[in-house]
Amino acid sequence: MKNILVLGAAGQIGSELVPYLRNIYGNHAVVAAYRSTPLPEAIMESGPCENMDALEAAKLHEIVKKHKIDSIINLVAVLSAKGEGNPPLAWKINMESQLNALEVMREVKGAVFTPSSIGAFGPTTPMDNTPQDTLMRPSTVYGISKVAAELLADYYHLKFGVDARGVRYPGIISNVTLPGGGTTDYAVEIYYEAIKSKSYTCNLGAGTFLDMMYMPDALRACVEIMEADPSKLIHRNCFNVTAMSFDPEMISAEIKKHIPEFRMEYKVDPIKQAIANSWPNSMDQTSAQQEWNWKPEYNLKSMTEDMLKVLAKKL
């Protein structure tokens, strides 16, 4: 990657990926694109930014030309729980942003990274050690759009030579920008509430196991897959990647080691619970390990230590 355009730069991943990429590739090589949510000041001040809608193809073409972009990181998405509230809008945003990114990179023979998700799997997928290549019949509009986006990316690679690559992210836990509208959001909120009020009401039930990853690993995964030797890639869109699998009881127990008075209650959200029940308990990431040497660094213990330390200062 040389000149990179990050679509959705104000979101949970984008707000941390832009500074991470600017550190590696140089401030002027990374353009942060945002629509309605303003960008953090540090991003506005440290490099180029564009206020645009990823669904407007003509504008996207103009910006790609203006900044001589060769790689797009497409983080625009309506997440799983929010998508269930407005399926046509979720489909439109998730699919049109992907199509536009692939089309514009077809013209310049560039690269596209689009994260897929554990949400691409469904209730008929094997739940434990979920294989890289398996049955995918998701039961959310988010999941359906993620499977379609994976297939479209592979199609643009095979048909037009677009260097499209991606990973299936698990729930991402972070401390800069809150996620919004996801099923795994509880695993972020719990840390904020542990610091603020020493208690948390969890919207997923005990025993709900899901794959998760701390943001530093998620950022590294994005760069490592994009910089991987293409001759070694058997898969492209998308690789299973994970760092840990836990349920609400486990994260609560880990927090209690640092804040003994922390208490957790349950008030299950039936929509989120149904979504979580349809997703894997834990994925197999052998393909990512073998094809581009993927290895996560954080586990539940080290992530919890860091999250609580950072949030205690921040809050």
Task: Give the binding site for ligand AKB (CB under 6 A).
Answer: 79-80, 117-119, 142, 171, 179, 182-184
CB 173 to ligand AKB: min, Å: 10
CA–CA gap between residue 279 and residue 138 (Å, rounded): 8
**For residue 50, which of 3, 96, 13 has the smallest C-alpha distance?**
3
CB 27 to ligand AKB: min, Å: 29
**For residue 64, which of 52, 75, 78, 76 has the smallest C-alpha distance?**
52
Beta-strand relationship, 210-214 and 244-246: antiparallel
H helix runs in 109-185, sequence order: 141-160
CB 172 to ligand AKB: min, Å: 6
Which residue number, 1 or 75, has a Cβ lying nearer to ligand AKB? Answer: 75
Task: Name residue 198's amino acid.
Answer: K
CA–CA gap between residue 228 and residue 290 (Å, rounded): 11
CB 94 to ligand AKB: min, Å: 11
What are 87-92's contacts with CB under 8 Å, separation 24+? 87/141, 90/141, 90/142, 90/145, 91/141, 91/144, 91/145, 92/55
Which residue number, 49 or 218, has a Cβ lying nearer to ligand AKB? Answer: 218
CB 83 to ligand AKB: min, Å: 8
Which residue number, 47 or 171, has a Cβ lying nearer to ligand AKB? Answer: 171
The number of residues making up the chain comes to: 315
CB 54 to ligand AKB: min, Å: 18
CA–CA gap between residue 144 and residue 140 (Å, rounded): 6
Q: What is the DSSP letter of 8?
A: T
What is the CB neighbour count within 10 angstroms for residue 5?
28
Which residue number, 132 or 140, has a Cβ lying nearer to ligand AKB? Answer: 140
Catalytic residue among 20, 34, 142, 191: 142
Q: Residue 266: what are its φ and ψ, rounded to 5°?
A: -120, 135
Distances, alpha carbon 264 to alpha carbons 121, 192, 196, 207, 296, in Å: 29, 13, 13, 14, 28
CB 276 to ligand AKB: min, Å: 8
> Is 200 an active-site residue?
no
Distances, alpha carbon 178 to alpha carbons 20, 53, 80, 279, in Å: 18, 21, 15, 22
When CB distances to ligand AKB are compared, the closest residue is: 182
Instruction: Classify the C-alpha dihedral 234-214-79-53 as positive or negative.
Output: negative
**Catalytic annotation, residues:** 142
